[in-house]
């Protein structure tokens, strides 16, 4: 009887805490909408899409170029990091000598812990001048992609490694007993079995790439324009907020909140995508 009550209490407590977390998310969304309202209703959300430039002090509020830039940088960085990250996870799990594999994991964890602003500073002082020598001005979509890929690579590698480690040994032994080659065991059995975890890691990394601010701000050039080439400077939505928020008032400030709202929507869509992908692939 008393155990029943303790369980009830615990479940009530957990439900309250979980509800609180969900409530905070809703409150954040409501706050964003409220702060962006002068632009959404007064100026009209249509103009956020149709205006041909972002000059809020000249009453032009086009956000689309920054949305494309955000997506281009995020997607390209994720693809790059996913390829290298998955490869290094497979290497560490199946092909590396045990001593190397033992060192590899803490090294990745360490890399994942480096603050983004450090990557940004390195990008600004080393990577950008390097690209500038080849294709000026250097600060570009390419620099943003490379920095982002570098930043999320450890996340991708670590989540992939965990997913591969979690594949039941019986599956592997069964595959080996059937006489499959090492390549067949790895690519035909282990990777498909770990698919949900690996994909989840990719999308987690993509969300981080979309939300990253400082590092991108320092290397992307921040010119508001459609990303037409790898060497063209672009501005992402997060950088737009960080660059201008300190000095913005009135409609300009509301426009920046609209940037934040748009970014949140992109991340929500991404999260929805993650949930669907993971639930579709959970059963091998």
Partner 1 sequence: MKKLCWLRSILTTVCMLSLAGTPLAAQDRLVLTGSSTVAPLALEIAKRFEQLNPGVRVDVQSGGSSRGIADVTSELADIGLVSRALKPEEETLASYTIATDGIGIIVHRSNPVQSLTDAQVQAIYKGEISDWNRVGGKAGPITVVNKAEGRSTLELFLAHFGLKNSEIKAEVVIGENEQGVKTVAGNPDAIAYVSIGTAEFDETLGVPIRLLPMAGVAASVTNVREGHYPLSRPLNLVTKGVATGLARRFIDFARSARVDDLVEAQFFVPLAH
State how beta strands 60-61 and 54-55 pair: antiparallel
Nearer Cβ to partner 1 (251/270): 251
| Strands in 56-157 per DSSP E | 60-61
d(CA 228, CA 45): 25
**Residue length, the chain?**
284
Nearer Cβ to partner 1 (91/122): 122
Alpha carbon distances (Å) from 64 to 42, 53, 226, 262, 279: 19, 9, 8, 10, 32
Assigned token pair, 43 = 């100026």
DSSP 246: G
Minimum separation from the CB atom of position 259 to partner 1 (A): 12
d(CA 40, CA 127): 38
Place of tokens 């737009």: 240
Nearer Cβ to partner 1 (27/110): 27
Minimum separation from the CB atom of position 59 to partner 1 (A): 10
Minimum separation from the CB atom of position 144 to partner 1 (A): 12
Residues near partner 1 (CB under 8 A) are 53-58, 60, 124-125, 128-129, 132, 136-139, 217-218, 221-224, 233, 235, 242-244, 246-249, 252
Nearer Cβ to partner 1 (217/261): 217
Minimum separation from the CB atom of position 55 to partner 1 (A): 5
Minimum separation from the CB atom of position 249 to partner 1 (A): 7
Nearer Cβ to partner 1 (146/206): 146
């Amino acid at each position: 009887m008393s155990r029943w009550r303790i369980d009830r209490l615990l479940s009530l407590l957990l439900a309250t805490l979980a509800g609180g977390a969900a409530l905070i998310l809703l409150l954040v969304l409501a706050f964003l909408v409220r702060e962006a309202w002068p632009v959404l209703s007064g100026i009209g959300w249509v103009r956020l899409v149709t205006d041909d430039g972002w000059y809020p002090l000249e009453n032009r509020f086009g956000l689309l170029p920054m949305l494309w830039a955000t997506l281009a940088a995020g997607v390209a960085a994720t693809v790059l990091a996913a390829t290298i990250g998955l490869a290094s996870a497979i290497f560490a799990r199946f092909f590396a000598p045990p001593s190397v594999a033992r060192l590899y994991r803490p090294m990745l964890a360490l890399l994942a812990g480096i603050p983004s602003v450090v990557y940004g500073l390195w990008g600004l002082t080393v990577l950008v001048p390097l690209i500038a020598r080849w294709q000026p001005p250097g600060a570009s979509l390419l620099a943003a992609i490379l920095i982002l890929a570098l930043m999320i690579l450890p996340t991708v590698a670590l989540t992939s490694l965990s997913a591969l480690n979690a594949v039941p040994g019986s599956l592997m032994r069964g595959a080996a007993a059937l006489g499959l080659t090492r390549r067949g065991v790895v690519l035909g059995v282990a990777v498909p079995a770990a698919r949900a975890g690996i994909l989840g890691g990719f999308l987690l990394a993509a969300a981080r790439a979309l939300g990253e601010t400082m590092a991108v701000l320092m290397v992307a050039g921040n010119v508001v324009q459609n990303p037409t080439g790898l060497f063209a400077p672009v501005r992402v939505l997060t950088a737009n907020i960080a660059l201008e928020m300190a000095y913005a008032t009135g409609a300009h400030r509301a426009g920046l909140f609209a940037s934040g709202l748009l970014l949140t929507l992109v991340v929500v869509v991404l999260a929805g995508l993650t949930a669907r992908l993971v639930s579709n692939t959970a059963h091998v």
